[in-house]
Amino acid sequence: MNTNLIEILQILSTPIALRNLRMIQILVEMTKSIGFFEQLIKDLGEKMHFRICEFLNYEYHVMGEVLFKEGDKGDKFYIILQGKVQIVINYNSPNEDCQMESLAFLIEGSSFGELSLIKNQPRFATAICHENTYLMVLYKEDYNRLLGHSFAKKLEEKIEFLHSLKVFSEWSKRSIEKLTFFFKQRHYKKKDLIYAKDDKADGAYIIIKGEIELTTITKSSNNKNLPRALKVALITTKDIFGDEEILLNIPRKYCAHCKSDSAEVFWISRDDFLSKISKESLKQLILRNNARNKMRQYRLKSIEHMSENKRNYSATPMTIKPNIDISLSLIKRFRKREVSQSPKLFISTKMLNCLKKKSGIQMASPTASIIENCVVTSRPRNANVFFNNKGFQPNGNFYGVFKKIQERIRGMEY
């Protein structure tokens, strides 16, 4: 037993009426790094932490001892100082024998027992000490007075949030209330790594607020036009991620980073995800993942194709020269990808001056070419105009300048 635990137990063993200010301050300092109190301070502040420490009690239970049984009246709220507690429920097997199903193992810093106090209902599960366990305890009266209202509100918000998700929309609120026990809240800051590619899939995530970016490493390291990490998706509130790898039983496909200044998520472990979420809901997730994968693969292929195309034609970029009319035959050849010679688009001096004025760049420079051969259907950021199966596609600022070009090539077949 470490020194901090011994000192905490000495203070908690002192009757509440006999504790002085100094003892409570020491207790506050020594418990602020415990998981339950870390979250409490974020949610309700340090003053609430201090007030709770005034009314904390202490209990010690040996391995195998039952703290409470399913159906018992709830009168205590527990915080684990040291040890492990198993939460189980009773169910009837096909042969009508009463069996025990394990819901969770709770470790140091975890709390339990609040649902019965908030709802004023019997215990919905049984708690058994899995090893010798030291507990901090708040009696029902103190818990409801200090934390009851805020925790009841937080629980209701959690239930409403999960119920608003399509995957849980058909669940009863009572079922979701039980499911909330398995979702843990996690916080991230900007650029925090949530998981890396090829990591073991240990859980699934639901975004409460913020933005998460999924990225992957490029397959071809020789292509310098491709960035090292390609953005696969930017996901936000109420999106679920990390579930696909669990359902397929594979390592992480992507890296996940916090993109926004901060983000909050619900996390559920792999085992709880597979055992507590209904088969119908898992089927919905599988169908959703299949649709998303098609979109993401299309996006990645488009980016790679665009970058590969840029690399292939960078040696012979299109140039712009004044005083000569547009050559329609040249445009036809370019459409057929006959690019053995450097393709050139000729426009009038007036058009060229207009382009220079609007863009502020020198058109004689190969790197400043405003026409780019591109097979994707959206205009790249580095091209003011590009050529695809719809002809020349200028952006808004250049539309008037290229209107004549577009009219002259309209109707030509590829």
Q: What is the rounded distance in angstroms from the CA atom of residue 179 to the CA atom of residue 265?
A: 15
Q: What is the rounded distance in angstroms from the CA atom of residue 409 to the CA atom of residue 250?
A: 50
Which residue spans within 236-281 are E strands per DSSP? Answer: 240-241, 255-258, 262-269
pLDDT band at 90 (very low <50, low <70, confident <90, very high): confident
Which fold is adopted by the domain 3-147? Answer: Jelly Rolls (2.60.120)
Instruction: Name residue 265's beta-bridge partners.
Output: 186, 207
Say yes or no to pLDDT of 347 above 90: no
Q: Which of 80-89, 337-346, 354-363 has the lowest mean pLDDT?
A: 337-346
pLDDT band at 182 (very low <50, low <70, confident <90, very high): confident
At residue 306, the pLDDT reads 57
| Percentage of the residues of the chain whose pLDDT score is greater than 70 | 66
At residue 278, the pLDDT reads 87
Question: Which superfamily is assigned to 183-310 in CATH?
Answer: Jelly Rolls (2.60.120.10)
Find the mean pLDDT for residues 58-74: 94
Find the mean pLDDT for residues 155-168: 91
Read off the pTM. Answer: 0.62
**Maximum separation of any 2 CA atoms in the chain, in Å:** 99
Say yes or no to pLDDT of 200 above 90: yes
Say yes or no to pLDDT of 391 above 90: no
From residue 12, alpha-carbon distances to 47, 100, 118, 132, 319 in Å are 19, 33, 24, 18, 81
269, 202 in Cβ contact below 8 A?
yes
Say yes or no to pLDDT of 268 above 80: yes
For the record, the structure tokens of 349 come out as 């001096």
Q: What is the rounded distance in angstroms from the CA atom of residue 97 to the CA atom of residue 101?
A: 13
pLDDT band at 256 (very low <50, low <70, confident <90, very high): very high
pLDDT band at 228 (very low <50, low <70, confident <90, very high): low
Q: What is the rounded distance in angstroms from the CA atom of residue 111 to the CA atom of residue 43?
A: 15
Q: How many residues does the chain have?
A: 414
pLDDT band at 343 (very low <50, low <70, confident <90, very high): very low
Burial class (CB in 10 A: 0-12, 13-18, 19+), 370: buried
For the record, the structure tokens of 412 come out as 């030509």
366, 315 in Cβ contact below 8 A?
no
At residue 388, the pLDDT reads 38
Average pLDDT, the chain: 75
| Percentage of the residues of the chain whose pLDDT score is greater than 90 | 43
Which residue spans within 98-183 are E strands per DSSP? Answer: 98-106, 111-112, 126-129, 133-139
Say yes or no to pLDDT of 7 above 70: yes
From residue 5, alpha-carbon distances to 31, 255, 311 in Å are 10, 39, 64
Q: Which of 7-11, 58-62, 313-317 has the lowest mean pLDDT?
A: 313-317
Selected residue with higher pLDDT from 91 and 38:
38
CATH 2.60.120.10 boundaries in the chain? 3-147, 183-310
- Of the candidates 342, 327, 345, the one whose C-alpha atom is nearest the C-alpha of residue 386 is 345
At residue 276, the pLDDT reads 87
